[in-house]
Amino acid sequence: MSHPSRLFAARSSVGAVLATSSAARRMAQQSPCKLCSAVGPSISPSQPMSCSRLFSTTVQSRISASQSAPSSFKISAPAKSESSGQPPSSRPSPRSRADAKARTAIGPFTPLSAGLLLATSIALFFYFQSEKAEVERRKASEKKNEKVGRPRIGGEFSLVMPVLGGGSEGERIEARSFTEKDLVGAWTLLYFGFTNCPDICPEELDKMGKVVDQIDSKYGAIINPIFITCDPARDTLAATSTYVSEFHPRMVGLTGSYEAVKKACKAFRVYFSTPPGADPSNDYLVDHSIFFYLMDPEGKFVDAFGRSQTAEDVHAKVEGFVSRWQSEGNALGRADIKTRVQEDESRKVPF
């Protein structure tokens, strides 16, 4: 039996006893009862008990008995749970606890939040990929152009290249036009000197020829070696042609008028000085800059190499430039300018 039912039964019993006691008291006051003489002496022979007293005594005894009833009929406050501190009646059911635990494990991660997270991740991925591609493109463009810190070396010039010709008069040397546009399409190593130089010019041209051969062994014929005289008074077509043939079979020799040579030297920032009043029939030295230039297949200046640098030093640098140029997706070109000029009759000019 639940606690409310026990309380109701106890209260009903007490009420019934009180009602019976009141009724017996009224009856005893109205007329005597044989019960008093019959029961009274058995209770107390010296003092007979009236009906009202008898019933009062009975009621009091029953009330006392009800007050001292077994603990099972007592109403006690609901016990609290030792673990949760809540009454047993308010404890969540096992299923409710399982549901709450599941909700706690899931947290705020819902299908909607998962979709938003995925969409954001994809957007960020493509954004950073595009930024990375843009940075790489910009770096490649800067490396290709190398405008920052690049000297303005090179420019327009118009010289002639000696070509061995034929005809009814036998073999003779012809002049073919050669300009800065002929530098485009392949790598170029360009040196300024003079054919009567006793030691420095031959040493530098030998070094240049070795570098060309080393690059050829790895990449093929991609470099045109070119010699430009700064002593046009003595370096005729025949002298220039014979001189360059001693250093490399693909080497191009260029000469021209004094004004044409001076313009070419100025375009490439080359200093040269001929002794005043020098007679071309006499022996004299020409003071000039001692280094050669590396030009890329677009005809732009890349680097300059002085006398202090060995062939191995120059080769390492040239190969580095060529390798980087190729890694950027650029064509290396073909070093065949000498052959093309020799075969092009339209280039023939009087000299």
Distance, in Å, from the CA atom of 51 to the CA atom of 59, rounded to the nearest integer, reads 12
Task: Please check if 201 is assigned to a binding site.
Answer: yes
Task: Please check if 288 is assigned to a binding site.
Answer: yes
Distance, in Å, from the CA atom of 87 to the CA atom of 77, rounded to the nearest integer, reads 10
| CB-CB contact of 255 with 240 (8 Å) | yes
| Closest of 289, 194, 206, 200 to residue 248, by C-alpha | 206
| CB-CB contact of 211 with 319 (8 Å) | no
| CB-CB contact of 294 with 321 (8 Å) | yes
Q: What is the DSSP letter of 303?
A: E
Task: Please check if 51 is assigned to a binding site.
Answer: no
Distance, in Å, from the CA atom of 90 to the CA atom of 12, rounded to the nearest integer, reads 30
Residue 16 token pair: 């019934």
Measure Cα distances from 275 to 123, 218, 279, 282, 286 in Å: 72, 43, 9, 11, 7
Backbone angle region of 165, left / alpha / beta, with phi > 0 → left and psi within -120 to 50 → alpha: beta
Annotated binding site for Cu cation: 197, 201, 288
